[in-house]
């Protein structure tokens, strides 16, 4: 009988190393209170911005962050402010407030005033704070993914120990340049956390109507970039995921993806009537999963009194009202500003 030729069996493919499943962050009472304050500031700020828009003080596009507060606050609280950089798209107010940037200069930018953080020349979608290593504020869907990969390139090139946190939405996750960037980031082991803020609607198109693979945390698989899906309505889960992702990246293992499952309560922008989803759907999320209510309950469990929370709330309302008053009254840019900041040098 003829012997079958010996066929060496292929060695089993070792499983690639994966990050651990992140554990929820164990916050102290002070940390929890801090999360609460930041999230509430974003909420009240955005509500006020919506109001000012309705009154005609804010023009153009204005994308509110209401509902998504836990993501920016939870993730950015884990960063090293001296080293790490952040970049995002046009829904950027929350990320700046999470950094503790003065609400006055943000609101004044929304109203297009000289005192705005971009001297009134950027507007809602184009705000930056190089002091905080916050690199915008970019209006073209997906552009910040390549730019953020460039910031990560800088961290590695300069060996400065920094990590870039690059936020983008579920809509941007279908842009070609995202995958071009994934490829280079993994190829060059760049220190970057890609944060997909999946608020489930790219303007009016739901994720599953636009994405063949709607589990967006898997979008890095063919580039060998691991992904973690995170409850983006839970600030402790967000912070816990950030810790895990930072450990991965800081260990030199290259990029990682965090898909934050979140929800925006308002329309895509102020001019969006949001007919693509029911009022009930929005209300259900508000009732069951509101990120701020969640932290409030935790604080109450830890024995924080109702009136203590009230005074926090009052202080924030006051701060936001002052920001709004400032933004309404502070002057518009001088006409000469039209011609400044186009080029740095004179030729």
Partner 1 sequence: MAIQIKMPALSPTMEEGTLAKWLVKEGDQVKSGDIMAEIETDKATMEFEAVDEGTVSRIVVAEGTDNVKVGTVILELTGEGEEPVATGEGKSEMEAPRIEQGEAADQKTEATPEPKQAETGARQMFEAAKNDATVADPEVPEGTEMVRVTVREALRDAMAEEMRADDRIFVMGEEVAQYQGAYKVTQGLLDEFGDRRVIDTPITEYGFAGVGTGAAMGGLKPIVEFMTFNFAMQAIDHIINSAAKTNYMSGGQMRCPIVFRGPNGAASRVGAQHSQNYGPWYASVPGLIVIAPYDAQDAKGLLKAAIRSEDPVVFLENELLYGRTFEIPKLDDWVLPIGKARIMKPGKDVTVVSYSIGVGLALEAAETLAGEGIDAEVIDLRTLRPLDRKTVLESLKKTNRMVVVEEGWPTCSIASEIAAFVMEEGFDDLDAPVLRVTDEDTPLPYAANLEKLALISADKIVAAVKKVTYKA
Chain residues that interact with partner 1, rule: CB under 8 A: 85, 87, 116-123, 126-130, 135-140, 143, 145-155, 157-158, 176-177, 179-181, 183-184, 187, 340-345, 347
Q: Please report how close the Cβ of residue 177 comes to partner 1 at its closest, in angstroms.
A: 5
Q: Please report how close the Cβ of residue 122 comes to partner 1 at its closest, in angstroms.
A: 4
Beta carbon nearer to partner 1, 177 or 205: 177
Beta carbon nearer to partner 1, 281 or 341: 341
Beta carbon nearer to partner 1, 83 or 250: 83
Beta carbon nearer to partner 1, 118 or 199: 118
Beta strand pairing call for 227-231 and 256-261: parallel
Q: Please report how close the Cβ of residue 257 comes to partner 1 at its closest, in angstroms.
A: 16
Beta carbon nearer to partner 1, 37 or 175: 175
Find out whether 151 and 161 touch, Cβ atoms under 8 Å. Answer: no
CB atoms within 10 A of CB 130: 9
CB atoms within 10 A of CB 5: 5
- Strands annotated E in the chain: 85-88, 134-137, 164-169, 192-198, 201-202, 205-206, 227-231, 256-261
Query: Could you give the angle at which helices 29-54 and 103-110 cross, rounded to 10 degrees?
Result: 20
Q: List the alpha helices (DSSP H) in 55-173.
A: 69-76, 93-98, 103-110, 143-158
Q: Please report how close the Cβ of residue 247 comes to partner 1 at its closest, in angstroms.
A: 23
Q: Please report how close the Cβ of residue 313 comes to partner 1 at its closest, in angstroms.
A: 32
The strand pairing partners of 169, in sequence order, are 197
Beta carbon nearer to partner 1, 91 or 294: 91
Q: Please report how close the Cβ of residue 136 comes to partner 1 at its closest, in angstroms.
A: 7
Closest CA to 100 of 65, 75, 73: 73
Gap between the Cα atoms of 155 and 148, Å rounded: 11
Closest CA to 131 of 108, 159, 100: 100
Beta carbon nearer to partner 1, 204 or 333: 333
Beta carbon nearer to partner 1, 15 or 158: 158
Closest CA to 300 of 316, 318, 284, 312: 312
Q: Please report how close the Cβ of residue 173 comes to partner 1 at its closest, in angstroms.
A: 15
Find out whether 195 and 222 touch, Cβ atoms under 8 Å. Answer: no
Residue 173's φ and ψ, nearest 5 degrees, are -60, -15
Q: Please report how close the Cβ of residue 190 comes to partner 1 at its closest, in angstroms.
A: 9
Q: Please report how close the Cβ of residue 237 comes to partner 1 at its closest, in angstroms.
A: 28
Size of the chain, expressed as the number of residues it contains: 347
Gap between the Cα atoms of 219 and 257, Å rounded: 8
CB atoms within 10 A of CB 6: 6
Order of strands across the sheet that contains 227-231? 134-137, 85-88, 164-169, 192-198, 256-261, 227-231
Beta carbon nearer to partner 1, 184 or 210: 184
DSSP annotation of 178 reads H
């Amino acid at each position: 009988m003829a012997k079958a030729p010996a066929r060496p069996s292929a060695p089993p493919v070792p499983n690639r190393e994966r990050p651990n499943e992140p554990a929820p962050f164990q916050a102290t009472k002070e940390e929890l209170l801090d999360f609460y304050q930041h999230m509430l500031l974003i909420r009240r700020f955005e509500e006020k911005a919506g109001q000012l828009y309705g009154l005609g003080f804010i023009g153009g596009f204005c994308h509110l962050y209401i509902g998504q507060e836990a993501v920016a606050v939870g993730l950015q609280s884990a960063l090293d402010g001296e080293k790490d950089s952040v970049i995002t798209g046009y829904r950027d107010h929350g990320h700046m407030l999470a950094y503790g940037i003065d609400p006055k200069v943000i609101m004044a930018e929304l109203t297009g005033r000289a005192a705005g953080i971009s001297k009134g020349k950027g507007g809602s979608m184009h705000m930056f704070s190089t002091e905080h290593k916050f690199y915008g504020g970019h209006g073209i869907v997906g552009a910040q993914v390549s730019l953020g990969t460039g910031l990560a390139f800088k961290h590695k090139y300069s060996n400065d120990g920094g990590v870039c946190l690059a936020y983008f939405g579920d809509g941007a996750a279908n842009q070609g340049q995202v995958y071009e960037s994934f490829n280079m980031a993994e190829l060059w082991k760049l220190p970057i956390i890609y944060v997909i803020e999946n608020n489930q609607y790219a303007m009016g198109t739901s994720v599953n109507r636009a994405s063949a693979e709607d589990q967006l945390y898997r979008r890095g698989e063919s580039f060998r970039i691991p992904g973690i899906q995170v409850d983006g309505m839970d600030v402790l889960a967000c912070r816990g995921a950030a810790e895990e992702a930072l450990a991965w990246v800081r260990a030199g293992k290259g990029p990682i993806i965090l898909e934050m499952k979140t929800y925006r309560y308002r329309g895509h922008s102020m001019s969006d009537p949001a007919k693509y989803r029911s009022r009930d759907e929005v209300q259900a999320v508000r009732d069951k999963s509101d990120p701020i209510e969640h932290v409030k309950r935790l604080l109450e469990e830890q024995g924080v009194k109702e009136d203590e929370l009230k005074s926090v709330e009052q202080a924030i309302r006051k701060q936001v009202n002052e920001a709004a008053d400032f933004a309404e009254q502070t002057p518009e840019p001088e006409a000469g500003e039209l011609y400044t900041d186009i080029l740095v040098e004179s030729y």
